[in-house]
Amino acid sequence: MEMNGTPVIAIDGPSASGKGTVAQMVAERLRFHYLDSGALYRLVAYTAIQSEVGFDDETTLSGIARDLDVVFTGAKILLKEEDVADAIRAEIFSNGASKVAAYPQVRESLLDRQRAFRQIPGLVADGRDMGSVVFPDAVLKIFLTADAETRAQRRYKQLMEKGIDANISTLLQDIRDRDARDINRSAAPLQQGADAILLDTTSLNIAQAVDEVLRRYHEI
């Protein structure tokens, strides 16, 4: 496998498609670094809510994004030394992340921070625009999706396992609303790139999805 520079596998897709779990497991199998770009946007939303900053204040939100005092270490996400990895998964911050991610200034503020994750021996990055904007030279680009009902069920199970209250009907509506925002935003809209491979996981389990990504990578 011949590559220029440190290889990146970019896994993009809609909310609750399972891309984060798949990306993390692929990274573990390859012993690559892992970037959960969605966590960065959730952190911006989390900080904004804690600081009582409105989601309509693009300038202040971009400042929050630029100045995030965050360290990723294993499964922990330390924001000012407090582990908020579970807290930022709550739906209020997931929805907030979708809103703040629509702002070009916020995305620009996080661009260099995301690219800094690209380190030897390689990186698996998941998000909405990993292959199109952040790492356009990724050696493998996957667009991972599933139908909305399946994604709502997966999100419900994930939240319940973490002890977070959830309602399946509300989750389904939230996912549909978020899809609409992500697809229609002007800055880096969610879409399958021409050079990305579609991987529909509606009828696949996590292990099957991971194996498919690894198979595609080893075929490069």
Mean pLDDT of 15-33: 93
* Residue 125: φ, ψ to 5°: -120, 135
pLDDT of residue 188: 78
pLDDT of residue 114: 93
pLDDT of residue 23: 95
Q: Which helix H or strand E contains 140, and what residues bound it? A: strand 140-145
Helix, strand, or coil (residue 77): strand
pLDDT of residue 201: 94
CA quadruple 115, 59, 100, 198: dihedral positive or negative? negative
**pLDDT over 90 at 148, yes or no:** yes
Mean of the per-residue pLDDT values of the chain: 92
Residue 92 and residue 81: Cα distance in Å, rounded?
Answer: 22
Q: Is the peptide bond before 121 cis (omega within 30 degrees of 0)?
A: yes
pLDDT, tens digit (0-9, with 9 covering 90-100), for 39-65: 999 999 999 999 999 999 999 999 999
Confidence (pTM): 0.86
**pLDDT over 80 at 175, yes or no:** yes
pLDDT of residue 90: 86
Overall residue count recorded for the chain in this entry:
220
**pLDDT over 50 at 108, yes or no:** yes
Number of neighbours of residue 133 by Cβ within 10 angstroms: 17
pLDDT of residue 2: 37
Report the share of the chain in percent with pLDDT over 90.
72
Residue spans of alpha helices (H) in 58-167: 58-66, 91-100, 104-115, 148-161
**Two structure tokens written together for 199:** 């991987």
- CATH number for 8-218 (one of 3.40.50.300, 3.30.70.360, 3.90.10.10, 3.40.720.10): it is 3.40.50.300
More confident residue, 189 or 41: 41
**pLDDT over 70 at 4, yes or no:** no
Please report which confidence band the pLDDT of residue 158 belongs to, taking 50, 70 and 90 as the band edges: confident
Picking from 62, 59, 68, the residue whose alpha carbon sits closest to that of residue 39 is 68
**Two structure tokens written together for 11:** 């896994």
More confident residue, 59 or 189: 59
**pLDDT over 60 at 138, yes or no:** yes
